[in-house]
């Protein structure tokens, strides 16, 4: 995967979550604070995995192609609400 493709996909996901993120949270009846706490918990578990050199999340096997995992800003919906 080249840098231009990764950047394009990340930007498209960013725009998609910027415009549809608040609607998705309302659909699942999740408020911004709960979503931020859940995201912080996931990041905490990943950091523990790196620091302690333990495997919390099991690998599924060899990866054939680099996987694009965008880090979406946890409070993007809150920025959208502030802009309105």
pTM: 0.55
User: SS3 for 3?
Assistant: helix
Distance, CA of 41 to CA of 58 (rounded, Å): 17
Residue 3's Cβ-count burial label (10 Å; 0-12, 13-18, 19+) is exposed
* Average pLDDT for 55-74: 57
Question: DSSP alpha helices (H): ranges in 28-71?
Answer: 32-52
Distance, CA of 74 to CA of 84 (rounded, Å): 18
pLDDT band at 68 (very low <50, low <70, confident <90, very high): very low
pLDDT band at 73 (very low <50, low <70, confident <90, very high): very low
């Amino acid at each position: 995967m080249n840098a231009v493709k990764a950047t394009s996909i990340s930007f498209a996901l960013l725009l998609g979550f910027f415009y549809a993120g608040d609607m998705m949270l309302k659909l699942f009846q999740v408020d911004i604070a709960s979503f931020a706490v859940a995201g912080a918990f996931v990041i905490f578990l990943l950091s523990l995995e790196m620091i302690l050199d333990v495997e919390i999340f099991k690998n599924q096997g060899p990866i054939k192609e680099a996987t694009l995992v965008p880090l979406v800003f946890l409070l993007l919906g809150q920025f959208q609400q502030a802009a309105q």
